[in-house]
Amino acid sequence: MNITITCPQCSAEVELAEEDTVFKCLYCGSILKPTGRNRVQSFFISPKETAHKVGIALLRALKANSSKNLHIVERYLLYAPYWRVNGMLFQWVFGRKYFKSPGGQKAWENFKKLRAAPWFRTFPAFDSSKWGLFSLGLRAQVLKVWPFNKQKMGKDPLLIQQTVSFKEAIDHAQNSIIRQRSSGSTEVEMLNSELIGERYSLLYFPFYCYILTNNGQKSSLIVDALSHKVIKGNLDIDELKKNSSGDTIPYKPLNFIPFKCPNCGWDFPFTPHALIHVCKTCGRAWQEKGGNYVPVPYKISLKDKSIQTQWKYLAFWRLTGIIKSQDRDYKTLKEFYELFPLPRVLDEEAIKKRNISFYIPAIRIKNVRIVDKFSAQLTHSQPQFSESEIDTIEDLDLSDVWLPLKEAKEMAHILLFSMTKKEHKKTKNVVKDAQIHFTNSRLLWIPFMEKGIYLRESHTDFALQKNALELTAERFIHL
């Protein structure tokens, strides 16, 4: 979805991609930071053709199939609010698959499967019991939208009032997730569905309402103002005139702030998808919240100086937490490895004193399964990095930070299922209802070295395919 906006600097009409966190004007070149992208925002879609032109075509079609005495006596442009939700659905399924053995006997095997796919829904944000359009379909993904502004929505538009609250929209979205069920050859034992990174927006969709007369009798028709198809629906136009929404913006407007470091005043590097911006001059990291920049503490994992190679620093959220199940809490690494055993022998006294950490990639990814597997490996191994706070990062090749902390915490819960072996009944019984109580969080850049098609972390020697990530720079700087 592209958002059509007016450049605050030169007033040109330009587009901002929905996933962009930084705006660059194609005309004047100014770079600004849109605010409020992590909140609910309101947009509208402009109608295609005027009510007059659509009415002429409608009347022609109706007269061809019915009475010649039809006349349009009133026409109205109205907007109906729809909730639009998009995110990424992660769904872990554990169970048994039944089959016949070579001897003809019934046999089974455990299975574990991850489904990760973009998730998108639209549904009415008003009382739609007498309305015939319950979803906008894929149109809401490809159409241009404008920030809500009643003055730009046409002459005297009528707005159907929003009655479905944000909380109700969240409940509706969660309840509409399709969950895999047991079938003839498959028995589902455990299912975990998580909607990650969901973004809610209120989208005002245009309709035309026509009041017609036929031999003195009045009737009304509602027409989709984009497809120009008649939809089923009843509307009391007089009641709508009385209760039409005013000029107040339903949710936060789209505003802009300078794309400059609040500490030193220098421009941030232009990274259109980054959520957290690191100043190359003073080394401070910042995130926009509530229309202002707030500092983000971070650390840099030190590279292995004995290895002469090129390094790329990938951003991770390191989250320290306690795994809480119905029966007990898992606080230390010793207790963690009771759930997720390691094949090697460990120093029990040492791991009794260590907390549990989750390593969540904060970079923008292309292949969810590959990155999930790497994150589970790294978390399972519980590495200890040598770290420092560096004043200047000018010479470091740092990846962008795309994943916010809130979503990183949701991903940590998914890792419990990623690390669970399909045949480990005890672990499955614990994680299916487990929650994580987080006690600390830190943004951490970890150095990786390039090895062919892989990026390899030197401390664990775990490798991650480069094409599983969306890296803004293909360069690797020798340090």
SS3 sequence, the chain? CEEEEECCCCCCEEEEECCCCCEECCCCCCEEEEECCCCCEEEECCCCCCHHHHHHHHHHHHHHHCCCCEEEEEEEEEEEEEEEEEEEEEEEEEEEEEEECCCCCEEEEEEEEEEEEEEEEEEECCCCCCECCCCCCCHHHHCEEEECCHHHCCCCCEECCCCCCHHHHHHHHHHCCCCCCCCCCEEEEEEEEEEEEEEEEEEEEEEEEEEEEECCEEEEEEEECCCCCEECECCCHHHHHHHCCCCCCCCECCEEEECECCCCCCECCCCCCCCEEECCCCCCEEEEECCEEEECCEEEECCCCCCCCEEEEEEEEEEEEEEECCCCEECEHHHHHHHCCCCCCCCHHHHHCCEEEEEEECCCECCHHHHHHHHHHHHHHCCCCCEECCCCCCCCCECCECCCHHHHHHHHHHHHHHCCCCCCHHHHHHHCCCEEEEEEEEEEEEEEEEECCEEEECCCCCEEEHHHECCCCCCCEEC
For position 249, what pLDDT does the model report?
67
Show pLDDT as tens, one digit a residue, over the chain (479 residues): 788 888 888 988 888 888 888 989 889 989 999 887 667 888 999 999 999 999 999 888 888 777 678 888 889 999 999 999 988 999 999 999 988 888 778 888 999 999 898 899 999 999 888 787 888 888 888 888 998 888 888 888 999 989 999 999 999 998 888 776 777 788 889 999 988 888 899 999 999 999 888 887 888 889 999 999 998 877 778 778 777 666 666 777 778 899 999 999 999 999 888 999 999 888 899 999 888 999 999 999 988 777 878 889 999 999 999 999 988 999 999 999 999 998 776 788 888 989 999 999 999 888 999 999 999 999 999 999 888 876 667 678 889 999 999 999 999 999 999 999 999 999 999 999 999 999 999 999 999 998 889 999 988 999 999 999 987 644 333 33
For position 244, what pLDDT does the model report?
67
Which among 218, 220, 213, 215 has a CA at the least distance from the CA of 240? 220
Amino acid in the structure at residue 44: F
Q: How far apart are CA 315 and CA 403, in angstroms?
A: 9
Token pair, residue 111, equals 């299975």
Count of CB atoms situated within 10 Å of the CB of 247:
9
Crossing angle of helices 405-418/368-381, nearest 10°? Answer: 80
Contact 325, 413 (CB under 8 A): no
Token pair, residue 352, equals 């009794």
For position 106, what pLDDT does the model report?
84
- Alpha carbon distances (Å) from 146 to 55, 190, 196, 284: 25, 43, 25, 34
For position 143, what pLDDT does the model report?
85
SS3 sequence, 322-362? EEECCCCEECEHHHHHHHCCCCCCCCHHHHHCCEEEEEEEC
